Amino acid sequence: MIHLFRRIRHQLLGEGKTGKYLKYAIGEIVLVMVGILLALQVNNWNQKVKDGVKQKSYLNSLIIDLSKDTIAINNILTYQIEDSLMIASHQKKLTKKDASLDSLLKIMVYDWNPRIGVLRSFNTNTVEALVSTGNINLIDSEILNNLAILKSLQETYISMIVPFIEFYRNIGNPSVSVPTKGSVINHGPIFDQMIEDVDRIKLAYKFNEQLTVKRQAYRNSISSLNGIKSKTKNIIQQIQKVTENTNYD
């Protein structure tokens, strides 16, 4: 094709047809420019398709991460609510007029659950991948804004709950010094003697402190996690709407 164009140019010049040659030269330039523009357009289209595939993959990954967080939050909320009800039950029993240190000891042996259930982290793998790869611009700005708000809520929750966990652990588990139903020795004369030797006053102070910290941690956690769960669900719905309304073909 190039040889053909060259031959035509030489022929026009050789015949002295300068006007026609100029017209032809301009036409050739226009054709080259059109070809370049078409190539750029095809290249842009290919890049757009590639970006669309990446965007869809990232959005699906975000939904997976956020869905995992929702499940984890629901599980923790269920545990915290049930444990809070148990704490309220303990409080009711131990504040009765006929309550005694033996009542407390009985709770410690048969009903006390020392575990404090909290959510310690969130799924941020996809968001971190978007930032590290520089592909963050593939995500809609409104979604990014909501993800930023969600991250702030998550960080506030972690910074709030960590001190509670540390303080709770520093109190020490009062049930460690008390034989419980889960102990190897959980009945018989040795068990009875172990129960008899427990320092009930010291146990009462520690148990009361641990119950109080645990209850307050749950109150703050339940309120915070419900807000995070609500925001997480909203973002999932927002992403699903984008994926449904976007043609990736």
Give me the pLDDT at residue 5, please.
47
Residue 12's pLDDT band (cuts 50, 70, 90): very low
Residue 192's pLDDT band (cuts 50, 70, 90): confident
- The share of the chain scoring above pLDDT 90, in percent, equals 40
Distances from the Cα of 72 to the Cα of 91, 123, 151, 229, angstroms:
28, 10, 16, 10
Single-letter residue type at 193: Q
Instruction: Give the model confidence (pLDDT) of 52-68 as tens digits.
Output: 678 889 999 999 999 99
Instruction: Give the model confidence (pLDDT) of 158-186 as tens digits.
Output: 999 998 888 888 876 665 566 666 677 77
Q: Tell me the whole-structure pTM to 2 decimals.
A: 0.75
Give me the pLDDT at residue 217, please.
92
Cβ atoms of residues 118 and 161 within 8 Å: yes
Give me the pLDDT at residue 165, please.
87
CA torsion angle 92 93 99 105 (round to 10): -130
Instruction: Give the model confidence (pLDDT) of 198-242 as tens digits.
Output: 888 888 888 888 889 899 999 999 999 999 999 999 999 999 998
The C-alpha atoms of residue 66 and residue 123 are separated, in whole angstroms, by: 7
